[in-house]
Amino acid sequence: MIKSAKIYPPPPQSATGSDSCNYCIALIRPKYENSGMAPALSLGYLSGYLKANGHNVLIIDALRDNLSNDDVLAILKRENIVLSGITCLSNYANEVAALSKHLKSSEIKVVIGGVHPTFMPYQTLTASGADYVVCGEGEIALLKLLENNFSNILLDGSLIKGVYSLNELKDEDAPAIRADVVENLDDIPYPDWEQLQPTHSAYVPLWWTTKNAPVAGIMSSRGCPYSCKFCSSANFYGRRVRMRSPENVLGEMRLLKEHYGIREIRFADDNITVDRDYIDSLCEAIIDSDLNLSLFTQARADRLDDKLVKTMKRAGFYNFAIGIESASPTMLKNMDKREDIDAIKTAIKILHDNGILITGFFIFGMPGETKQTIKETMDFMMNEPLDLVSVTILTVLPGSEYWDELKGQYTNIFSQAYFSEVNYVPDGLTTEEIVYAEKQALRKFYLRPKIIFKLMKYIKFRYISHFLTRMRYVHFFDK
């Protein structure tokens, strides 16, 4: 029995399907163990695109709404929906498989998309019993699948690009190509914010710190031209960057502010400053508008300079997350970061001198890591003017260079534990040493009065339980 408070969304306002089914498809994010969440942009984009093409979509965010698999199934039955699409990252691939099996046992058709099935299509299909997986961006493939009676074989016998069933993938090594993409990102409507409900109280901004709330995420580009060995983004998008026009981005920011009361935007781009002309024009457009929103972004250090930082600050950017990963030149070379430590220091100085909050992202335990390189990184963390740090232990991700390079040397369990436990140990270190290093780094960094004092301004206490869960994941409280 579903509690009424959990039932989502409100009754349908329009219907494009048959009389007995208001929605063509339900797009679902399953419930999984996590320490904070953002709106599921993937589902929002897919829904926006399908709706613009005449298909009514129901988003069920079981993570946000705390819905069990039974609850999800009950909603599908209530709404008479027989087609479902589930989004999947590696940290909850097990939960996706369980939900898929549950839905399949009630004759619901299932397609799974996202980063995980893109790189592990065969394994996703076998683990979940799903009808299809979509490899790559989902807009075009899902629309074609819907318009082809949920079959991946077109009338002329060819396959919808990027959509696979077990009939086409015989084993793990079977080649899978990516779905077609919408070349001009402005042709994709804004995410279906109405169903994403950006002001929902379950959403928690990264590191529970924010200048203004409520917060929403925007993606102004897709892709990254770099190929850091621990990351899968480059392989997902094929190293090509596509950008939305500044006007298009501004329109979405305006919608979020004026319609939903959003006061802070977090850019989810992999690399928002990669094209200098683009970021300049985006900032100019924001400055010329009357939006006055606080802005957060991640950026590569070597793609920042004083002039750009000043422009971005005028546009509202107050917090930059910089992927530093390690302070050891050898480690930076090993991971193919293509950035040297001096460039990182220079960027930190520029940001600091401009009064920007700096979040440093670090990863411990990559190949070549030693006690010495960990010490170099910890010293760097303590000596540079960083305001926040995120320290994680390497998770070898499907689709990353390390996935192939380190084959046979890591475990893969595809659950939250996969991201909080050590599943790869570099030569010369032990699991205990890596966990200890993560814990020590976080404790040394955060348990300093000047950091605590500064963060008091930004930490929102309503996120405290998520904060504690996250700290547990990163071993902060371990003995």
Interface positions with ligand B12 (CB under 6 A):
34, 37-38, 40-42, 45-46, 85-87, 89-91, 111, 113-116, 134, 137-139, 142, 206, 219, 231-233, 268, 270, 392, 397-398, 419
**Of the ranges 55-63, 144-152, 227-235, 244-252, which one interacts with ligand SF4 (CB under 6 A)?**
227-235
Residue 300: name its binding partner from ligand SF4, ligand B12, none (Cβ under 5 to 8 Å by kind). ligand SF4
- The reply to whether 367 sits near ligand SF4 by the rule CB under 6 A is no
Q: How far is the C-alpha of 93 from the C-alpha of 72, rounded, in Å?
A: 17
* Closer residue to ligand B12 in complex, CB, 284/455: 455
Segment 456 to 475, residues that bind ligand SF4, using CB under 6 A: none
From 102, 116, 222, 300, residue interacting with ligand SF4 (rule: CB under 6 A): 300
Minimum distance between the CB of residue 339 and ligand SF4, rounded to whole angstroms? 8
Taking CA atoms, 451 is separated from 122, 326, 387, 413, 454, in Å, by 46, 21, 6, 35, 5
Using CB under 6 A as the binding criterion, the count of chain residues that bind ligand SF4 stands at: 11
From 8, 226, 364, 467, residue interacting with ligand SF4 (rule: CB under 6 A): 226
- The reply to whether 390 sits near ligand SF4 by the rule CB under 6 A is no
Q: How far is the C-alpha of 266 from the C-alpha of 296, rounded, in Å?
A: 5
Amino acid in the structure at residue 261? G
- The reply to whether 324 sits near ligand SF4 by the rule CB under 6 A is no
Residue 142: name its binding partner from ligand B12, ligand SF4, none (Cβ under 5 to 8 Å by kind). ligand B12
Minimum distance between the CB of residue 45 and ligand B12, rounded to whole angstroms? 5
Residue 271: name its binding partner from ligand B12, ligand SF4, none (Cβ under 5 to 8 Å by kind). ligand SF4
From 46, 76, 146, 231, residue interacting with ligand SF4 (rule: CB under 6 A): 231
Q: How far is the C-alpha of 353 from the C-alpha of 355, rounded, in Å?
A: 5
From 234, 243, 250, 357, residue interacting with ligand SF4 (rule: CB under 6 A): 234
Rg (alpha carbons) of the chain, rounded to whole number: 22
From 24, 40, 108, 224, residue interacting with ligand SF4 (rule: CB under 6 A): 224
Q: 73-88: b or e for each residue (b if 16 or more CB lie within 10 Å)? A: bbbbeebebbbbbbbb
294 neighbors 266 (Cβ within 8 angstroms): no
Residue 114: name its binding partner from ligand SF4, ligand B12, none (Cβ under 5 to 8 Å by kind). ligand B12
- The reply to whether 271 sits near ligand SF4 by the rule CB under 6 A is yes
Whether the CA torsion 463, 28, 124, 337 is positive or negative: it is negative
Pairing of strands 132-134, 109-113: parallel
Pairing of strands 163-164, 109-113: unpaired
**Of the ranges 225-233, 241-249, 280-288, 468-476, which one interacts with ligand SF4 (CB under 6 A)?**
225-233
* Closer residue to ligand B12 in complex, CB, 350/366: 366
* Closer residue to ligand SF4 in complex, CB, 198/323: 323
Minimum distance between the CB of residue 187 and ligand B12, rounded to whole angstroms? 13
Q: How far is the C-alpha of 231 from the C-alpha of 270, rounded, in Å?
A: 11
- The reply to whether 31 sits near ligand SF4 by the rule CB under 6 A is no
Minimum distance between the CB of residue 359 and ligand SF4, rounded to whole angstroms? 14
- The reply to whether 233 sits near ligand SF4 by the rule CB under 6 A is yes
122 neighbors 174 (Cβ within 8 angstroms): yes
Residue 398: name its binding partner from ligand SF4, ligand B12, none (Cβ under 5 to 8 Å by kind). ligand B12
Nearest by Cα to 224 from 216, 236, 211: 236
- The reply to whether 92 sits near ligand SF4 by the rule CB under 6 A is no
Segment 138 to 177, residues that bind ligand SF4, using CB under 6 A: none
Residue 113: name its binding partner from ligand SF4, ligand B12, none (Cβ under 5 to 8 Å by kind). ligand B12
What the block records as the tokens of 158 is 């060819």
**Chain residues that interact with ligand SF4, rule: CB under 6 A:** 224, 226-228, 231, 233-234, 270-271, 300, 323
